[in-house]
Amino acid sequence: MDQVIVFLQALLEQTGAAHFSFGNLVMIIIGATMIYLAITKHYEPLLLIGIGFSCIVANVPGPPDDVPGGQAISALLYVVKEGGLFHYAYEGVAKLIIPPLIFLGVGAMTDFGPMIANPKLVILGAGAHLGIFVALILAKMLGFTLAEAGAIGIIGGADGPMAIFVTVKLAPHLLGPVSVAAYSYMALMPMIQPPVMKLLTTKEERQIGMAQSRKVTKLEKIAFPVVIAIIVNLFFPPVAPLITMLMLGNLLKECGVTDRLSKTAAGGLMNVIIMILTVAIGSTMAADKFLTWQTIEIVVLGLIAFMVGTGSGVITAKIMNLFLKTKINPLIGSAGIASVPIAARVSHIVAYKENPNNLLIYHAMGPNLAGVFGTAISGGIMLALIGVS
């Protein structure tokens, strides 16, 4: 009988069940919540399904690693190990191959017309980035180095690829928690932003209607990526790879003679990258690495950055209204944090609920797209001042 018990114990040791911890359970619940929100609430399913699923699998312990003194690692982390499929996926993130490709796809999907049509709204793209610096200062107060604080602050830019780019340059050891915080909050913006937006605006302000902007010609849309690429490469070389790819993708879309390329960049290529990226991010959410005080601090600081950024965008719009003859709806200010098009969609939905005749999506896309440049510029200046090339 004793032999049978010893045999069963040995068998159990070879499975993951013996290594299951309370932290794993917490992370599985977090992953399941992400999948639930994606399916039932439609909160950015393209991001949350992959992150949530890989978070769950990363927290199902497997047998002990085959290295001496190895820990129990999940099946997913086995494929993340060197030589495995997702090892290269994660390397693609860490070596800054995937972020520029994402920007290529985003550029091929994006119509920059709203930003070109109403240039004064680009100010909101800068105003909504106060959250970056509030988080940076708070991170420094908590004892992070300036480079780490910069990487944490950039979460407030709500721009996943840019957050990855800046973090790899400034504090690569924080890539996991920073990318998880950035992408998770981007997906959860429909929950985070509306309370802040409503708190800072009156019902009358939320109901302000906006007139249609001028029509943007094809010539302007073709000139835009070329002009912006020149400006960014000239003045912000640290972030030029991302913005250059964004502009290349947009030129492929707007020139009208490279449909095959723009459809591939915006479609198949983008979908493959999203799958790789979400699994690479989710696989960093193993409980032993994720449930630490440092990660919790980063997650909380990221949330503060998002909320302050949302608020500062709305307040910037209200300040602009003091000087504008034709008032703008301050709800579009919150779209100034970069996450395209999630933030613009949130502005639209909040305004639509107040007044079903008020359709702000096109107007909100202007500051939303400017926010992409705002984050890139903030990140570029940060890299230059901290001394990273």
Q: How many angstroms separate the CA atoms of 102 and 181, rounded?
A: 18
For residue 64, what are the β-bridge partners? Answer: 72
226 in contact with another protein (CB under 8 A) = no
CB of 222 to another protein, least distance (A): 9
CB of 216 to another protein, least distance (A): 8
CB of 125 to another protein, least distance (A): 6
- DSSP-based three-state secondary structure for 237: helix
Q: How many angstroms separate the CA atoms of 33 and 58, rounded?
A: 15
Distances (CA, A) of 208 to 56, 202, 329, 335, 349: 44, 10, 5, 16, 14
382 in contact with another protein (CB under 8 A) = yes
Candidate segments 134-142, 195-203, 248-256, 276-284, binder of another protein by CB under 8 A: 134-142
Of 141, 126, 140, 135, which Cα lies nearest the Cα of 178? 135
Of 184, 180, 212, 189, which Cα lies nearest the Cα of 337? 189
183 in contact with another protein (CB under 8 A) = no
* Of positions 68, 69, 83, 356, contacts another protein by CB under 8 A: 356
142 in contact with another protein (CB under 8 A) = no
**Close Cβ partners of 284 (under 8 Å, ≥ 6 residues apart):** 58, 90, 175, 176, 177, 179, 180, 290
Q: 4 vs 234, which CB is nearer to another protein? A: 234
353 in contact with another protein (CB under 8 A) = no
CB of 385 to another protein, least distance (A): 5
Q: How many angstroms separate the CA atoms of 60 and 56, rounded?
A: 7
CB of 146 to another protein, least distance (A): 4
Q: 290 vs 306, which CB is nearer to another protein? A: 306
The helix-helix angle for 146-153 and 361-386 (nearest 10°) equals 170
269 in contact with another protein (CB under 8 A) = no
CB of 32 to another protein, least distance (A): 31
Interface ranges with another protein (CB under 8 A): 115-116, 119-120, 122-123, 125-127, 129-130, 132-133, 136-137, 140-141, 145-147, 149-150, 211-212, 214, 216-217, 219-220, 223-224, 227-228, 231, 235, 356-357, 359, 362, 370, 373-374, 377-378, 381-382, 384-388
